[in-house]
Structures are given as C-alpha cells and as structure tokens.
C-alpha cells in the first residue's frame, strides 16, 4: 500500500494533463499555478520523490520539470532549502492590497483604533499558556452559543466592579465584537424602529439596515442624546460614556430621562460602552445599564483595551432577550472561538487586564494632554474628558482635509457622521490619538498644527 499521501511533507494540489506528455503536463500545471497566484512567491514545493509518488509520474520526470521551471524563472532551487516559487516578474500585476498600502498616510490620526503596538503580548502569552494547560478537552469542541462559562463568570465580576453593570453570567453572551452584537440584536428586534445618535458612526447605521432594521436619527447636543426627540422609536442606540464623534458625556439628567422613557414605553436602550474605561479627569462614569438593567442591553468589547484582532465582545441582556439572542448567535456562527475566551478569563482573574487598562489610561491621557497643549491654545477642542479622540473645530472642513492629505496626514471629519449631511451642519476634525506609535505621535501633532495654522 502507498503511504506517501498520508505521510509527512508539503501538500500540493495539481491536475497535470497527460495528453501533451507527462513532463509537459506537469510543467504547464505548475506554471499555471504560479501565474494564477495559487502558488505564492516563496511557497515550498514537495520533494521530487513525494510529488512523483502522489502524481504517479517518475521522479526523473518531476526533477526535469522542476529544472525547466527553474530555468524559466518560475522556481528557485537551493541546497538545503528545497524548491520554492520565485518572486513574480517585475511586470506582473501587483498583489491585492498593494495600491492601498502605497496610499497609507505617513501620520495616522484617524479615530476608532487603539495603539495596537501596546498590546500586552507577554501577559497574553502567559494567560494563553495557562488557559491551554488547564482547559478541559471539551473546550476544543462546539460549545454554548452564549460563550464559555469561565469568561462569562469573570466578566460578571469585572463589569460589576469596574463599570457598575449588573451582569449575572447567565445573561451574558460573548460575541465576535460590537458589530456582531449590534447585528444579532437588530435581527431579534425584527421590525422595531431603532433610533441612532446624530451625528454617529455611519458604519453602525449600515449594520442595522443590513440586518433588517429601520434607522431614525435622534439629535445629540452638549448634554448628549435629546431624549425628548425619540418619537416613535422602540429602541435607541447610545454611547453615554463618550459619544462618538462629539465626545460629550450623557448628562445625569438625560440619563434619568432616558431610563424613564424606556420604562414608560417598554422601550429598549442599547448602550455602546464606547471608551468607557478611558476617563481622564475623574473616576469613569458608571454604565447606564446599572440604572435600568431590565431595559438596557449593554455592549462592551476588548477592541479598544487590547486590540480589534482578538474579536472578543460581550452583551449583557435583559432576561427576556437572552434566549432569542443566543439562538441568533447559534445560527450566525455557532459560538465565538473558545481559546481566546479562556485566555481573557485568565487575564481578568490575574488582574493583568486591570493593570493593562490603567497603563493605557495613563498613556492616552498624556497624548490627550499633548494634543491640548499643541492645538487647544488656538482651536476649540471638545470631547476631551475621555476616550481616544477629540473634536477640533475648523472653519472649512474640506479645505483643511485637502491640506492634511497633501502633508500625508489622515484625520476623521465630522461631516461624514451626520445622518443627512448638508449645508449649515457644524464642521470639525475628529482627531484620534490612540493609533500612532509613541515615537511618531509628537511629529503627527506638528503636522496637524501646521495644517490647522492656515485655516
């Protein structure tokens, strides 16, 4: 019996056409695979003995085909390194994404992302090792669509302690980030009119629409969402800790009015705890959910504290929505991956998560202070009490953005966040200070100051 197929080595799917001869058919199959990008530059090919056994072609024929493609420049062969796919010819099409990378700005002050260079890799690796060492074998199987009970229990304690959230583990559903949580909830509400802050993030409005929801705008002013203008909405999505993009914190009076509206109309408040951990001038404002746990869906995520790549978020639900959301999660992706959940559990239990959040809070406050020092003396800067972005007032948004682009500086703009953009809307730059690496941030602010100086 031939054991080559199930043995060790490099797998390679080819379908040589023997009609033109075995060697010519193999050469053509390999050449086409390289040209079409199915074999990427640097990919290692199987040894001649193995490929011969798998294709039923003699080893000498395979070697001759390899040698021919080396001569043509499709492959390279080095002693001890084997045979690999050569780099594409200089006149070949650029790989996908090359043009986008070429357009990347020199200085990135766009909002919405943390400093991913500060990811606590060593602490995460320790937590991951402990999680894998102690995980039961069933952790590698399909699991509860609500998520691992270990993480839900850890979050129950953490959210109660750090954010004032009433979060029994049985009412928590782990998601692959905020967007999935919003999408699942929209499907469950099915037909309920959803009010969303104006201005607000257009992408989130599109998530609601694509999942069958109807979006209506509700204005935001210096006190946050204007509760009296919710109209006939059955649910409202709010960012009370640090509104995006204006940066205002929901006023205590508005918080009370919002929870009273929900109780009176049996309405639902969807609390996006955006930037909730990053409060700079006093203790973080507690979550709205603690005031009305039966009327509020609390959505949190590790994307800003750790990094978006982890795809870990959580929903704390009123009791009546748990089963429906869990069922929607089951039929969406069954459950969020488990090993990362167990690692985050370890990070929370060891208090490494708290230490990391505190360190980030200090780092981002220094950046916020430097932004105020450089820009605040000559410009109105708002939304600075918390979070990873601030709103900088400008006279002509389009003109300033054009100058910024010419200088290789990327920033956000207020204009794109209105539900209905148009003349007469306030203008401004939404400046994020989480994204740049530490050493590049002062230079990025120098460029921003230069761009604003001519407005």
> pLDDT tens for residues 357-402?
999 999 999 999 999 999 987 789 999 999 999 999 998 899 999 9
The span from the CA of 222 to the CA of 81, in Å, is: 64
Rg of the chain (C-alpha set): 27
- Mean residue pLDDT across the chain: 90
Is residue 219 within 8 A of residue 240, CB to CB? The reply is: no
pLDDT digits 0-9 by tens, 205-248:
999 999 999 999 999 999 999 999 998 999 999 999 999 999 99
Query: What totals of helices (H) and strands (E) does the chain contain, helices first?
Result: 14, 15
Neighbours of 232 (CB within 10 A): 8
Q: Among the residues of 267-351, which ranges form H helices? A: 322-333, 338-349
How large is the average pLDDT for residues 307-317?
Answer: 96
Rounded to two decimals, the pTM is 0.83
C-alpha dist (Å) from residue 234 to 193, 272, 304, 437, 451: 5, 17, 29, 42, 44
Neighbours of 264 (CB within 10 A): 8
Quote the distance between the C-alpha of residue 339 and its chain's center.
Answer: 18
Ramachandran angles phi, psi of 292, nearest 5°: -155, 70
Higher pLDDT pick, 417 / 282: 417
Helix (H) or strand (E) holding 405: helix 397-406
Task: Kindly write down the DSSP assignment for every residue of 370-385, as one continuous string.
Answer: HHIIIIITTS-EE--S
Q: Is the pLDDT of residue 7 over 50?
A: no
Helix (H) or strand (E) holding 412: strand 409-413
Q: Angle between the 338-349 and 149-163 helix axes, to the nearest 10 degrees?
A: 40
Band of residue 64 on the pLDDT scale cut at 50, 70, 90? very high
Strand 409-413's sheet: what is its strand order?
107-109, 409-413, 428-432, 389-393, 381-382
Q: Is the pLDDT of residue 151 over 80?
A: yes
Structural domains of the chain in order of their starting residue, each with its CATH number: 18-85 (1.10.10.10), 107-117+354-453 (3.90.1150.10), 119-351 (3.40.640.10)
The pLDDT, as a whole number, for residue 73 is: 87
pLDDT digits 0-9 by tens, 37-56:
889 898 889 988 888 888 88
Band of residue 16 on the pLDDT scale cut at 50, 70, 90? confident
The span from the CA of 127 to the CA of 131, in Å, is: 6
Share of the chain above pLDDT 90, in %: 71
| Cβ neighbours for 51, distance < 8 A, ≥ 6 positions apart | 12, 45, 57, 62
């Amino acid at each position: 019996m031939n054991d080559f197929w199930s043995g060790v080595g490099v797998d390679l799917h080819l379908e040589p056409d023997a009609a033109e001869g075995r060697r010519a058919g193999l050469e053509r199959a390999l050449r086409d695979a390289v040209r079409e990008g199915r074999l990427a530059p640097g990919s290692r090919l199987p040894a001649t003995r193995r490929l011969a056994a798998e294709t039923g072609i003699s080893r000498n024929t395979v070697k001759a085909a390899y040698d021919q493609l080396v001569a043509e420049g499709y492959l390279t062969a080095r002693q001890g390194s084997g045979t690999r796919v050569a780099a594409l010819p200089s006149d070949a099409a650029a790989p996908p994404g090359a043009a986008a990378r070429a357009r990347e700005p020199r200085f990135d002050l766009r909002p919405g992302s943390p400093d991913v260079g500060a990811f606590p890799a060593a602490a995460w690796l320790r937590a991951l090792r402990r999680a894998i060492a102690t995980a039961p074998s069933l952790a590698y199987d399909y699991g509860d669509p609500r998520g691992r009970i270990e993480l839900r229990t850890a979050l129950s304690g953490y959210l109660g302690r750090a954010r004032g959230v009433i979060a029994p583990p049985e009412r928590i559903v782990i998601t692959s980030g905020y967007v999935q949580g919003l999408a699942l909830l929209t499907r469950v509400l099915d037909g309920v009119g959803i009010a969303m802050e104006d201005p607000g993030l257009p992408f989130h409005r599109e998530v609601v629409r694509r999942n069958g929801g109807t979006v209506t705008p509700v204005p935001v002013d210096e006190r946050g969402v204007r509760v009296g203008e919710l109209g006939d909405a059955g649910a409202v999505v709010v960012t009370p800790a640090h509104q995006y993009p204006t940066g205002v914190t929901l006023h205590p009076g508005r918080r009370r009015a919002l929870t009273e509206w929900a109780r009176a109309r049996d309405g639902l408040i969807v609390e996006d705890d955006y930037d909730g951990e990053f409060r700079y001038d006093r203790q973080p404002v507690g979550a709205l959910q603690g005031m009305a746990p039966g009327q509020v869906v609390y959505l949190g995520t590790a994307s800003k504290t750790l990094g978006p790549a982890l795809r870990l978020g959580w929903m704390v639900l009123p009791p009546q929505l748990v089963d429906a959301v869990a069922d929607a999660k089951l039929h969406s992706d069954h459950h969020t991956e488990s090993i990362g959940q167990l690692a985050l559990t370890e990070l929370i239990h060891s208090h490494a998560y708290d230490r990391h959040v505190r360190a980030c809070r200090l780092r981002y406050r220094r950046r916020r202070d430097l932004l105020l020092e450089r820009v605040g003396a000559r410009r109105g800067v708002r939304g600075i009490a918390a979070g990873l972005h601030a709103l900088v007032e400008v006279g002509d948004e389009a003109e300033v953005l054009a100058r910024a682009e010419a200088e290789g500086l990327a920033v956000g703009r207020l204009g794109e966040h209105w539900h209905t953009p148009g003349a007469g809307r306030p203008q401004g730059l939404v400046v994020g200070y989480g994204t740049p690496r530490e050493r590049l941030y002062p230079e990025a602010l120098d460029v921003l100051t230069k761009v604003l100086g001519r407005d």
